[in-house]
Structure 1
Amino acid sequence: MKLLLAFVLTFWISLILQADVQEVGKANINSILIFSSQKGLNSGIYHFKNRGISLEIYHLPIRYDFPSKSAWNYYIKGDLSFSRVSVSQHTLQPYESVIAYGTSIDTYIGGLGGGIRYIFGHGFSASIGGEILYSRSAVKLGEANVQNTVKNLFGNDFNTNLTYEFEASLNYMDVFNEYKIYADFEYKLYETKTNFSLGELDGFRSESSVMSFSTGFETPSIFDFGTNYLTFEGRVYEYFLNGTVVNTTGVDRYTTMSGTMYLYVPNQYDYIERFFVEVSSAQSESIEGYNIGVGFSMKF
């Protein structure tokens, strides 16, 4: 009888820990795209203060806008990413079960999508599009004070995930005294389907969304050398999150400030307009994050 009770208790604890890891996994899949920069090759680290979770991101977003002589403009986009979610302290989930220190989830993502942009005139434009992202996640559990009852629920196996992203934006850009002035509204919705290897947890769905408002400026040339020149861009973003990512990270709103240095090379390359380095910081009561990115913009 005691042996049976021990077995039932062990199995019950295992399922609780699996559910917790599943919740963190849901957020990890979407967080790579929600919290990382969309400008160029970038790397960032984010600490979710209310959950004792850290997120490390390496992300390469790609976008190409097809040349167009009309108000309609088509684009294709892609994403290549790696992230690692780590439990930096014993953390309590909303339903009061513990994920152990040392638990980590590695996720690899590749995505392809596209959309359409319409230019209204007077500086206004709007875009709508989507992307399908394929990802694989591996979970490694830390010690959980159950005397090694469960060391690694998933071993080294990878779980496959499929994410559908929908995006819409309204953008404004004007020039005032040689300064470019920006204002943008964006909405993105992510739905993820995941296949876990254990029957009790086979296939879950999660939804996360993010709405953002941003404003900023880009200076005229601040330093010239030949035909090349440097400019500086400053931006402030306000993000509002909803869905699974909020339940797991404890973040529903945060502010990002970014500074970008552009090197324009108008006569050196046929298809490259400028190179850039971007540094940004995300802050709120629930999150502290830093990101640095490099890349280039194409000209048409």
Structure 2
Amino acid sequence: MTTTFLPKVGGPLYLTDSGLETTLIFHEGQELPYFAAFDLLKTEDGRASLKAYYMRHGEIALAQGMGFLMEGPTWRASADWGDKLGYAPDELAAANRASIELMQSVRDSLKARGDIPVLVSGCIGPRGDGYVAGDAMTAEAAHAYHQAQAIAFKEARADMIGAITMTNIPEATGVALAAKTAGIPVAISFTVETDGRLPSGDSLKSAVAVVDAATGGYPAYYMINCAHPEHFDHVLESGAAWMDRIGGMRANASRCSHAELDEAEDLDDGNPEELGQQYRALLQAHPQIVVLGGCCGTDHRHIHSIAKACVSLGQAA
């Protein structure tokens, strides 16, 4: 399988989106049971809200001449969460396919306005909590669990899969194997704690090595998400071979721990300008990072600040 169209070192920087669920809940007043943004696909108003969200971010990429990688609203669109929401398996598969179709329509709109690369990524989230490792499945069980979602994305002609907020190595391995079985590229993004380690306690370096070994290096690249840059910058080793596999980051604006975020009643959106400068410093130290987005508490303001701070460090789209 060729993945030459995916983000890569020496190519343009790609913006991705921000904290979809926190944006919809705290800024737009949407009701998202179980944080399931894909449930909005059921209604015309919900679909319009999702399209507006992606267009806001895509327009930033257009204005800066950067690539744009859309991560779908399907973080919760797997079997256990679908069951909680009353989705039958065929309805869940249809929702996953519909998410790709919606993003493809956004891509058409963006491409009509400017010549930037735009990628559509089907999002797979963890079977459990995105902050807590919990009782991890085996890689084999995770492969089986996530296979249906990977197949739906392949059928809908997504460009790739983004596995977001992976908290442990076996589940990340299983998602990568599910993508490999379906024949679609995948990027694996790990949640890290304030010490820069996965919630499972594993180091980021170990997680990359083990998943690569178990999958024949199948992931196109790895990412870091759901932590403030100050939580993980100290574990990034400039010049180390494993760092060549870290291609993106989706940081939180907040310096709070996951436990503190869970207990907070108000959204901590940090300082967008400061976050942009922290991204710039990380890119200067680690130029292999080419995908830039946000996670909990971030919105289009943070992405705009990141784009302005970092655009001069990348190739033209």
For Structure 1 versus Structure 2, the TM-score category normalised by the shorter chain is: 0.3 to 0.5
Task: Decide which structure has the larger Cα Rg and report it.
Answer: 1
Q: Which has the higher contact order (CA 8 A, sep 6+)?
A: 2
**Given the two structures, how large is their TM-score scaled by the length of structure 2?**
0.33
Task: Name the structure where strand makes up a greater proportion of residues.
Answer: 1
The TM-score, its normalising length taken from structure 1, stands at 0.34
